[in-house]
Structure 1
Amino acid sequence: MQQSAVPELAHTDTRPLHWLATAAAVTGVVALSSVFHPGSATAAQPASPPRTASVAAPATTGVDFPVECGPVKAVVVKKATGDLDGDGRPETVAVVHCDAPMGTPPDAVYVLTRAADTGKPRVVATLVEPRERRTVTAISVRDGAVVASLLGYSSADVPSCCPDVKTDAKWQWKNDAFVRTTPAGARGV
């Protein structure tokens, strides 16, 4: 028998003991990998909050608004959506007035949510009544609050055609009710 020219390769002869040691090492690695493994892979960044199913804001079609219009219909002229009470579901704020053929009918502002039992939109709050004789020029939902610009009248003697007072208003949900604040004072138009 000739000696190997490279003595360090002498251990390459396989014996049953080598196979047994290799099998034990592979079994140990497999067993340990099932105990120590990384967490589940996710597409989201770890710092982001868990996602919830998105819920559509209530629609304004088919809602029976509490405004008396006589022979004409109530129409939604503006709307805004957002989560007003912090429950993770959006509400809709609707500006509604009677579809009068002449003049400038006063606006009303209503908050809609979905009924818990049927999921149908329903009015849950009135922010501006038609009897207040206001015209809403802008409305939005910002940081969980309703923000609006309102035109109105300084007295009953001012003709309906010509509002002379502009007011900015903000409504925030607090203690189970909408609380109104006026960020900027009333000013002439």
Structure 2
Amino acid sequence: MHWLITAAAVAALTAAAAWIGPGGAAAKAPAAARGGPDPAAADYPVDCGPYGITVTDHAVSDLDGDGVPETIAAVHCDAGAGSPPHGLYVLTDPARGASGPRVALTLVDPAEGMMLENLTVSGGTVSVRLLGYSSVDVPRSAPDQRRDVAWEWTAGTLALRAAPPPGSY
């Protein structure tokens, strides 16, 4: 009887805690719920052969100020090992009759062989750190080049603005 009463009390306490929830906690809405296109539903212009595509980072912002948010997505092939290059894409709502978001702009093409870090979006500016290699002799797991870049919404397009290379100032 003691175990039955204890089990009932634990169940009641668990149900009450789940119903009330922790004070001040708020769940983060997925990108689609915030109004931006879902990066997992896009068809990226990347040939991964037998592997799928992994979205490694994304952000939602109204880049052009038209009241409709875009999603900026960093993706790479899901090769399972190594350091595959990234692509960076701007996604917009699907074209009429299409089922998934549309890739409106490619900011970084995976063919460039870059990896990405520190994706941030603020208003009409997309910022990222590009990681690359000075030669084919550099191991693909240890990029030895880095550069911070940003694209700013200017005159109806995203214009690239690169920071000076490290050590050049």
Q: Distance in 2 between matches of 1:124 and 1:154?
A: 30
| Secondary structure of 1:187's aligned partner | coil
Matched, 1:139 2:103: no
* Ranges in structure 2 where 5+ consecutive residues have no aligned partner: 1-32
> Is the Cα contact below 8 Å between 2:43 and 2:101 reproduced in 1?
no
Gaps of 5+ in 1: 1-53
Could you tell me which amino acid in structure 2 is paired with residue 105 of structure 1? P
Select 2:80's aligned residue among 71, 77, 101. Answer: 101
The SS at the match of 2:116 is strand
Measured in 1, the distance between the counterparts of 2:68 and 2:81 equals: 38
Any idea what the Cα deviations from partners look like across 1:92-143, whole Å, max 9, x if unmatched? Answer: 0000000012210000000001135248411000000111111111101113
State how far apart, in whole Å, the 2-side matches of 1:146 and 1:123 are: 16
Q: Distance in 2 between matches of 1:173 and 1:159?
A: 35
Distance 2:79 2:90 in 1: 23
Check whether the contact 2:95–2:102 (CA below 8 A) recurs between aligned residues.
Answer: no
Match of residue 167, structure 1, among 144, 147, 150 = 147
Provide the rounded CA distance (Å) in 1 between the counterparts of 2:81 and 2:34. 38
Counterpart of 2:62, as a letter, is: D
Which whole-Å CA distance do the structure 2 matches of 1:146 and 1:99 have between them?
A: 24
TM-score by length of 1: 0.65
Report the Cα offset of residue 155 of structure 1.
2.7
Q: Spell out the pairing of 1:105-184 with structure 2 (5 A cutoff).
A: 105-115=84-94, 117-118=96-97, 120-182=100-162, 184=163
Count of residue pairs the alignment pairs up: 134
Q: RMSD of the alignment, in Å?
A: 1.9
Q: CA deviation at 1:91?
A: 0.5
Equivalent pairs: percent with the same residue?
44
Q: Which has the larger radius of gyration?
A: 1
Deviations 1:32-91 (A, max 9, x none): xxxxxxxxxxxxxxxxxxxxxx96111112211000100000110100110111101110
Give the TM-score taking structure 2 as reference length: 0.72
Aligned counterparts, 1:61-80, within 5 A: 61-80=40-59
Q: Does the Cα contact within 8 Å between 1:81 and 1:140 map onto a contact in 2?
A: no
- Counterpart Cα distance in 2 of 1:156 and 1:187: 21
Distance in 2 of aligned mates of 1:156 and 1:175: 38
SS of equivalent residue, structure 1 residue 61: helix
Q: Distance in 1 between matches of 2:81 and 2:102?
A: 29
Task: Kindly indicate whether the alpha-carbon contact (under 8 Å) linking 1:76 and 1:95 is maintained by their aligned counterparts in 2.
Answer: yes
More contact order relative to length (CA 8 Å, sep ≥ 6): 2
